[in-house]
């Protein structure tokens, strides 16, 4: 019998070993060393000793689960959520907020130093409330035939199974208090077996609900939803078969939020920052770093609906926003008119294609801001260098691509002046950040 060698197949030692964690990673996993190998252990904090069992073993590292914790760290706290450890939404509610923030900032600093050679502090951190910060949340809906009831909630970690959510302390209280009555309402619909998901959003003018339904809703169901809408003062939008969004009640006021004193109207399907408190601080920091002057011409790439573009426009000669999603560009143009900003142009362009032929690319700009998705901004970095701006502010939701793209600016002679860790999603492994690059050396207080 012929046997084939598989280099990726490694046996896992199922024995129990004792370790002491000496660090924490950005995902909230304890880091320990055993016989020269790094082990990542979910739920273990620095300084804690535990008996563990390996669950996955690679050449350079291993993963393990705690069999028995033998000591407790002073940084271990009681989670606020009754669904913690089951729900996959939060991973770090057992970790004191200060340790979460310190760890993420350290991870960001280490990654930048390793990839670029620049030693820089990510402090002071832009902080968030520890709980009650999410103004947007999407929950899955799944009819459980055996129990004859609707499950509404987030997915369990590493599975497709839903956790039926009754409480969610990271949501804004105005949204969390809707969970029980909304579940009861949806469970009473005739279409209960044919619902996809529900999204809760908190606008300045009140909460709204977007309901994805897979079949047309009967009039009786619409009447049930109308009663809920009036009783709880919630605007409801229906997302049907063609994924076209329709307000349940025609005279519903469009949702809006404020940033830097401006009113931004948005569609319930538009992307807006989940954490309003951090968003306000982030925009203010970006504007301060750019040191905006009345003669500036500023380019905002991956601009969305103008979260940065419009506040920038209030202080400069001209601003251009470029975005790949047509609906967001339309929202940005509408909000520019709403706020009487006549020095803003928005372009709907694919920033991953050949940007040099795009109409905005021929214009001159002396300052640039970019806020790309997780994939980063590899396609535009060379053009930013070509523009030779005085300052570049890079807002990032992925420190790996931030570090990668930073190399282009550093190689072109730019200086990495300042970095901030953004505590956008407490209790999760998401690491948001922003960085300031300058063509000349400068000091930041």
Q: In 145-215, where do the E strands start and end? A: 149-155, 162-164, 195-203, 206-213
Write down the pLDDT at residue 259. Answer: 97
Tell me: is residue 323 an annotated ligand-binding position. yes
Write down the pLDDT at residue 150. Answer: 95
Res. 35 pLDDT band, cuts 50 70 90: confident
Cis peptide bond N-terminal to 184, omega within 30: no
Res. 1 pLDDT band, cuts 50 70 90: very low
Write down the pLDDT at residue 442. Answer: 73
Neighbour count for residue 403 (Cβ, 10 Å): 21
Write down the pLDDT at residue 235. Answer: 97
Q: Is the pLDDT of residue 210 over 80?
A: yes
303 catalytic per annotation = no
**pTM for this one?**
0.92
Q: Quick: pLDDT tens for 293-343.
A: 999 999 999 999 999 999 999 999 999 999 999 999 999 999 999 999 999
Write down the pLDDT at residue 2. Answer: 41
Res. 169 pLDDT band, cuts 50 70 90: very high
Write down the pLDDT at residue 251. Answer: 85
Percent residues over pLDDT 90 in the chain: 86
Write down the pLDDT at residue 5. Answer: 43
Q: Are 426 and 133 in contact (CB under 8 A)?
A: yes
Q: Quick: pLDDT tens for 133-144.
A: 999 999 999 998
Stretch 159-168: mean pLDDT: 91
β-pair partners for 23: 31
Write down the pLDDT at residue 443. Answer: 67
DSSP H or E run through 16? strand 16-20
CA distance readout (Å), 161 to 90, 167, 399, 417, 429: 16, 17, 30, 45, 21
Tell me: is residue 307 an annotated ligand-binding position. yes
Stretch 15-27: mean pLDDT: 90
Terminal-residue alpha carbon distance, the chain: 70
Rg, the chain, Cα only: 24
Structure tokens at 280: 């306000």
Tell me: is residue 81 an annotated ligand-binding position. yes
User: In the predicted model, what is the mean pLDDT of the chain?
Assistant: 93
Tell me: is residue 275 an annotated ligand-binding position. no
406: three-class secondary structure by DSSP = helix
Stretch 240-268: mean pLDDT: 92
Measure CA 403 to chain center: 18
Write down the pLDDT at residue 432. Answer: 96
Tell me: is residue 226 an annotated ligand-binding position. no
Write down the pLDDT at residue 13. Answer: 58
User: Among the options 185, 226, 303, 397, which is catalytic?
Assistant: 397
Could you say which DSSP state residue 101 is in?
A: H
Write down the pLDDT at residue 3. Answer: 43
Write down the pLDDT at residue 7. Answer: 47
Tell me: is residue 72 an annotated ligand-binding position. no
Write down the pLDDT at residue 12. Answer: 53
Q: What phi and psi values does residue 410 have, to the nearest 5 degrees?
A: -65, -40
- Which residues neighbour 234 within 8 Å (Cβ) at sequence distance 6 or greater? 178, 206, 207, 208, 209, 228
């Amino acid at each position: 019998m012929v046997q084939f060698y598989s280099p990726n197949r490694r046996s896992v030692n199922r024995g129990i070993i004792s370790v002491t964690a000496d660090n924490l990673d950005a995902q909230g996993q304890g880091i320990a060393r055993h016989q020269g190998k790094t082990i990542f252990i979910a739920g273990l904090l620095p300084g804690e000793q535990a008996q563990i069992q390996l669950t996955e073993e690679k050449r350079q590292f291993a993963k393990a689960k705690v069999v028995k914790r033998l000591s407790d760290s002073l940084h271990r706290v009681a989670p606020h959520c009754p669904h913690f450890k089951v729900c996959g939404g939060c991973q770090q509610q057992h970790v004191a907020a200060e340790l979460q923030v310190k760890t993420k900032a350290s991870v960001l600093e280490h990654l930048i130093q390793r990839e670029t050679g620049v030693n820089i502090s990510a402090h002071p951190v832009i902080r968030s409330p520890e709980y009650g910060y999410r103004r947007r949340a999407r929950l899955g809906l799944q009819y459980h035939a055996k129990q004859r009831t609707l499950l509404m909630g987030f997915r369990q970690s590493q599975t497709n199974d839903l956790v039926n959510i009754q409480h969610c302390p990271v949501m804004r209280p105005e949204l969390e208090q809707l969970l029980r009555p909304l579940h009861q309402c949806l469970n009473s619909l005739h279409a209960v077996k044919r619902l996809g998901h529900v999204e809760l959003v908190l606008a300045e003018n009140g909460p709204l609900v977007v309901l994805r339904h897979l079949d047309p809703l009967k009039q009786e169901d619409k009447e049930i939803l109308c009663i809920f809408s009036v009783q709880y003062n919630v605007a409801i939008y229906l997302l049907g078969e063609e994924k076209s969004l329709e307000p349940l009640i025609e005279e519903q006021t469009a949702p809006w939020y404020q940033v830097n004193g401006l009113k931004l109207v948005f569609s319930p399907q538009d992307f807006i920052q989940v954490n309003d408190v951090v968003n306000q601080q982030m925009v203010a920091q970006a504007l301060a770093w750019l040191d905006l002057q009345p003669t500036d011409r500023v380019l905002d790439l991956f601009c969305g609906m103008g979260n940065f573009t419009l506040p920038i426009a209030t202080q400069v000669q001209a601003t251009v926003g470029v975005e790949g999603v047509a609906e967001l560009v339309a929202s940005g143009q509408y909000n520019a008119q709403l706020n009487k900003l006549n020095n803003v142009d928005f372009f709907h362009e694919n920033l991953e294609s050949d940007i040099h032929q795009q109409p905005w690319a021929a214009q001159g700009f002396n300052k640039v801001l970019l806020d790309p998705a997780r994939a980063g901004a590899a396609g535009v970095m060379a053009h930013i260098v070509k523009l030779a701006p005085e300052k570049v502010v890079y807002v990032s939701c992925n420190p790996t691509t931030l570090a990668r793209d930073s190399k282009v600016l550093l190689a072109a002679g730019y200086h990495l002046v300042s970095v901030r860790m953004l505590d956008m999603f407490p209790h999760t492994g998401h690491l948001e950040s922003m960085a300031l690059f300058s063509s000349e050396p400068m000091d930041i207080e």
